[in-house]
Amino acid sequence: MERFIPLSIPNFEGNEKKYVNDALSQGWVSTGGKYITELEKKLEEFLKVKKVVACQSGTAALHLALMECGVQPKDLVIVPTLTFIAAVNPVMYQFASPIFMDCDDSLCMDVQKLRRFCESECDLKEEGLFHRDTGKQIKALVVVHVFGNLADMESIMEIAEKFHFKVVEDATEALGSRYISGRYAGKFAGTIGDFGAYSFNGNKIITTGGGGAVTAKEEKAAQHMQYISTQAKDDPLYYIHNEIGFNYRMTNLQAALGVAQMEELPEFIRRKNQNYKLYLEQLKDFPFGELLGFRQGTESNRWFYSLKLKMGQFKGSLREIISSLQAKGIQTRAVWDLIHKQLPYKENIAYQIEKALYYSSCILNLPCSTQLTEEEIVFVVEQIKNIVGEMADGIRVT
């Protein structure tokens, strides 16, 4: 296998080496240094928010947000089942329990089912929203902007305001996605709910290797998250700590990478959109699948490209397609296995999960790196057409 087209890899075309070498030369390699502050400022300016806290990972960002929501043992948190498990695990870090919600055709949370659940399965009391069967309080909701596609935040915020729970936006895949119409026109993913979490993992639109960031609607809440992310130091000279803290701060080396990546973010988003259009053009006459779109009234960073395959119209499994493409030097992947089916979560509440089951069986995620060339996109689509076409030989398309 001579050529290899990866699914999603980082792009270091700018000042990454320069800034990292500068941090090394100054000796600031750990959780102090100018690049951490500079990255936070660049994110604040880009997102148009007052305070961003750089931290160790997107998972840490979500954990900090749930702590700040006041999620405690025996509380409930509404989460999607169609997501990466890191969106759910922080609920368990707080010894709370998730309630799993279905997705809609955007792959994001189904707001109609969310509303129905709150109305029919819960009771709104003076203290908040309580799940009727368990008697437990629903403190928060984690909504994921799946693959950079914005969820229906207008409806989600209306429901949250009516039923009195906090909203944590998992924008780990959606840095740069924003609304361009409606109530939240001009607002970016992660800046609408009470809290917003971002990830800079190696496969994200920008990366710091590992790393993440968190913001909050209330600046005071963001400042408190920064405080507990650095071991809750009340007096760093005499080591006085009045709260339990965490070692969740980003390192200066990571932040140096991030500063350079932020300089390139607009260009990365442009390329993601350009490559998405190329895929659309190449797949327009493909009878066995279609590229999923993005929500109207938004501008997405188009982080991932998802091909919805018509699995019933040809022989063969999604696994066989992925393996055949791998043999051709093309890395693809299925969507995540649903979280409510995972061993640690099988006993948790899952509310009317239907579409997530369907989409988890037929989504093929395509190579989406910002270094992709037009020739590579053409090759990827040709191979998909060949492999699926062979599986469909002799089968009548209905």
Q: What angle do CA 324, 326, 330 make, to 5 degrees?
A: 115
> Residue with structure tokens 């361009």?
180
Q: Which of 213, 231, 261 is the last residue of a domain?
A: 261
Type of residue numbered 258: G
Residue 29, pLDDT > 80, answer yes
Residue 119, pLDDT > 70, answer yes
Q: Are residues 160 and 256 in the same domain?
A: yes
**Residue 3: inside a domain, yes or no?**
no
Residue 85, pLDDT > 60, answer yes
- Count: domains in the chain: 2
Q: Which of 237, 261, 285 is the last residue of a domain?
A: 261
Q: Are residues 324 and 305 in the same domain?
A: yes
Give the CATH number of the domain where residue 248 resides.
3.40.640.10
Residue 340, pLDDT > 80, answer yes
Q: Are residues 293 and 373 in the same domain?
A: yes
Ranges assigned E (strand) in 93-155: 97-101, 122-125, 128-131, 137-144
Q: How confident is the model over 57-75, as a mean pLDDT?
A: 98
Residue 62, pLDDT > 60, answer yes
Residue 137, pLDDT > 90, answer yes
**Residue 95: inside a domain, yes or no?**
yes
Full-model pTM: 0.96
Task: Give the pLDDT of residue 395.
Answer: 60
For every residue of 206-249, DSSP letters joined together read: S--BSBEEEEESSHHHHHHHHHHHBTT-SBTTTTB-SS---B-B
Task: Give the pLDDT of residue 398.
Answer: 38
Q: Are residues 290 and 327 in the same domain?
A: yes
Q: Are residues 308 and 162 in the same domain?
A: no
Q: How confident is the model over 289-296, as a mean pLDDT?
A: 96
Q: Are residues 334 and 212 in the same domain?
A: no
**Residue 307: inside a domain, yes or no?**
yes
**Residue 5: inside a domain, yes or no?**
no
Mean pLDDT over each residue of the chain, to the nearest integer: 96
Q: Are residues 240 and 326 in the same domain?
A: no
DSSP structure class, residue 312:
G
Q: Are residues 355 and 218 in the same domain?
A: no
Q: Are residues 171 and 285 in the same domain?
A: no
Residue 121, pLDDT > 90, answer yes
**Residue 1: inside a domain, yes or no?**
no
**Residue 39: inside a domain, yes or no?**
yes
**Residue 327: inside a domain, yes or no?**
yes
Q: In 3D, which of 141, 65, 156 has the Cα closest to residue 104?
A: 156
Given a contact cutoff of 8 angstroms between Cβ atoms, the answer to whether 215 and 52 are in contact is: yes
Confidence of residue 1 (pLDDT cuts 50, 70, 90): low
State how far the alpha carbon of 377 is from the alpha carbons of 267, 345, 366, in Å.
Answer: 19, 38, 9
Q: Are residues 287 and 320 in the same domain?
A: yes
For residue 154, which phi and psi values (nearest 5 degrees)? -60, -50
State how far the alpha carbon of 180 is from the alpha carbons of 147, 186, 189, 297, 298, in Å.
Answer: 18, 5, 12, 5, 5
**Residue 248: inside a domain, yes or no?**
yes
Q: How confident is the model over 298-302, as a mean pLDDT?
A: 98
Q: Are residues 32 and 135 in the same domain?
A: yes
Taking only the tens place, the pLDDT of each residue in 188-213 is 999 999 999 999 999 999 999 999 99
Taking only the tens place, the pLDDT of each residue in 100-109 is 999 999 999 9
Q: Are residues 143 and 217 in the same domain?
A: yes
Type of residue numbered 188: F
Q: How confident is the model over 222-246, as a mean pLDDT?
A: 95
Domain of 282 in residue numbering reads as 265-392
| Alpha carbons 329 and 307: distance in angstroms, whole number | 18
Type of residue numbered 379: F
Q: Which of 240, 261, 282 is the last residue of a domain?
A: 261
Give the CATH number of the domain where residue 330 resides.
3.90.1150.10
Ramachandran quadrant class, 190 (left: phi over 0; alpha: psi -120 to 50; beta: rest)? left
